[in-house]
Amino acid sequence: MSEAMAVSPSMEHEHVEPNYIAIWIYLAVLTVFELIVAYAPIPKAAMVGLLVGLAWAKAVLVAMYFMHLRFERRTLAIIALIPVMLVTFLTFMLVPDLSTRIYARHHMGEVVRMEHALGKDISGPNPNVAP
Amino acid sequence: MSEAATVQPHVQHETAVEPVQSPLTPDSMGKLGMWLFLCADAMTFGAAIAAYGALRIGNMNWPIPSTILGIPSTAVMTFILICSSVTMVEALSAIRRDDQARFRKFLALTVLGGIAFLGLQAREWTHLIATEGLSIKTSLFSGTFFLLTGFHGCHVFGGVVYLSVLLLRGMAGKITAVKYGLVEVAGLYWHFVDLVWILIFTFVYLI
């Protein structure tokens, strides 16, 4: 135990430096790819998927090599992953709002949908119309 | 007596080891603090981008960004920011070796990159506001656009100020290889601003 502890600080001092120019070239090439994809005559869904994938690839490159996350203790990587997880969760929390809005667009709205589901009249006076 | 003598050093050893092995040394505290700040900041950006996505998907007729926004000039802005991240890591690696001249040169280049980015953004905003007549109140499209790019622009401005202060201290010879941590922490902020721009460029301009 104490032996392992004695080793880790000296390993931290041994500084590993990635090839920054290579990362720079990767990022530039990925940016050019993004521009090609954005203007390519491909289906919208494929384009969005590719662009999001490319953007995340670039973001991970920056975090891993420029922000040295790859060479840090794993605890720091976990700390950095927390907002990513929370934002993913937050995005999913918006799904009810989005799905009902899209529903309301295709049908006649929330009240009609609920009436249909419940099988009875639930609509009160319209608050948007002056009595 | 002899029993106490054998037990005592063992106890001292246990208590002496503990504080030395604490993961929070004064060196790592700044780095951890910056990472925690960046996590909080990432949540703000994440929430803003998620809200933008929700407004956009929930809208039937969202305009195609490239018909209004200038993609080529923004691609140049993206490239400038990526380059300034590279000059930042070069500055850090120079100060680690105590190469003062190289450190100052690359830090100055990083600041210049930030200023160039802000200049191009100011040009873009001026065009959109003065020529196209857009404002934050015009529509959801322009509102979310100005909010996201404006919030990011504030971060770039903050970074330029932050790095300029660091550069001035470096010019005064106050940053040495021992204090490379200051540069590393500033670099974390700068790379984060770059990282967020990569996502904004994709979500707001390209898609």
Best probe of the B interface among A7, A16, A27, by most B CBs < 10 A, is A27
Give the model's confidence band at B22: pLDDT under 50 very low, under 70 low, under 90 confident, else very high.
Answer: low
Q: Which amino acid is at B88?
A: M
Buried b (16+ CB within 10 A) or exposed e, A6-38: eeeeeeeeeeeeeebeebbebbbebbeebbebb
Grouping H, G, I as helix, E, B as strand and the rest as coil, residue A43 is coil
Residue B159 scores a pLDDT above 80: yes
pLDDT tens, position by position, A88-101: 999 889 888 777 76
The answer for residues whose C-beta is within 8 angstroms of residue A90's C-beta and 6 or more apart is B46, B47, B50
Query: How far is the C-alpha of A128 from the C-alpha of A113, rounded, in Å?
Result: 19
CB contact under 8 A, A79 and B36: yes
As given in the structure block, the two tokens for residue B40 are 């909080």
Give the model's confidence band at B86: pLDDT under 50 very low, under 70 low, under 90 confident, else very high.
Answer: very high
Give the closest residue to B87 by CA, choosing from B173, B190, B200, B182. Answer: B190
Give the residue-averaged pLDDT of B49-59.
86
Residue B23 scores a pLDDT above 80: no
A124-to-A103, A111, A121, B103 alpha-carbon distances in Å = 21, 10, 9, 70
Residue B108 scores a pLDDT above 80: yes
* Better pLDDT: A123 or B85: B85
Best probe of the B interface among A66, A73, A88, A92, by most B CBs < 10 A, is A66
Query: A87 — contact with chain B (CB < 8 Å)?
Result: yes
Query: How far is the C-alpha of A55 from the C-alpha of B32, rounded, in Å?
Result: 26
Decide: B34 and B158 in contact? Cβ < 8 Å: no
pLDDT tens, position by position, A49-68: 999 999 999 999 999 999 99
Task: Count CB pairs under 8 A between chains A and B.
Answer: 114
CB contact under 8 A, B53 and A94: yes
Query: How far is the C-alpha of B24 from the C-alpha of B54, rounded, in Å?
Result: 40
Query: How far is the C-alpha of B103 from the C-alpha of B95, rounded, in Å?
Result: 6
Neighbours of A73 (CB within 10 A): 13
Q: Report pTM.
A: 0.81
Decide: B39 and A82 in contact? Cβ < 8 Å: yes
Give the model's confidence band at B5: pLDDT under 50 very low, under 70 low, under 90 confident, else very high.
Answer: very low
As given in the structure block, the two tokens for residue B82 are 């990526």
Query: A103 — contact with chain B (CB < 8 Å)?
Result: no
Give the range among A105-114, B39-48, B132-141 with minimum mean pLDDT. A105-114
CB contact under 8 A, A94 and B54: yes
Decide: A38 and B206 in contact? Cβ < 8 Å: yes
CB contact under 8 A, A101 and B58: yes
As given in the structure block, the two tokens for residue B37 are 């700040």
pLDDT tens, position by position, B114-124: 999 999 999 99
Q: What is the mean pLDDT of chain A?
A: 77
As given in the structure block, the two tokens for residue A20 are 């920054």
Where would I find the H helices in B127-179?
140-171
Q: Which residue has the tokens 């909010």?
A: B147
pLDDT tens, position by position, B161-170: 999 999 999 9
Give the closest residue to B163 by CA, choosing from B201, B124, B191. Answer: B191
Give the model's confidence band at A110: pLDDT under 50 very low, under 70 low, under 90 confident, else very high.
Answer: low
DSSP, res B177: G
Decide: B182 and B175 in contact? Cβ < 8 Å: yes
Reported ipTM: 0.82
Give the model's confidence band at A9: pLDDT under 50 very low, under 70 low, under 90 confident, else very high.
Answer: very low
B51–chain A nearest CA distance, Å: 8
* Better pLDDT: A81 or A123: A81
What radius of gyration do chain A's Cα atoms show?
25
Q: What is the mean pLDDT of chain B?
A: 87
Give the residue-averaged pLDDT of B33-52.
94
> Which of A30-44, A92-106, B7-21 is predicted most confidently?
A30-44
Q: Which residue of chain A comes nearest to B52, CA vs CA?
A: A91
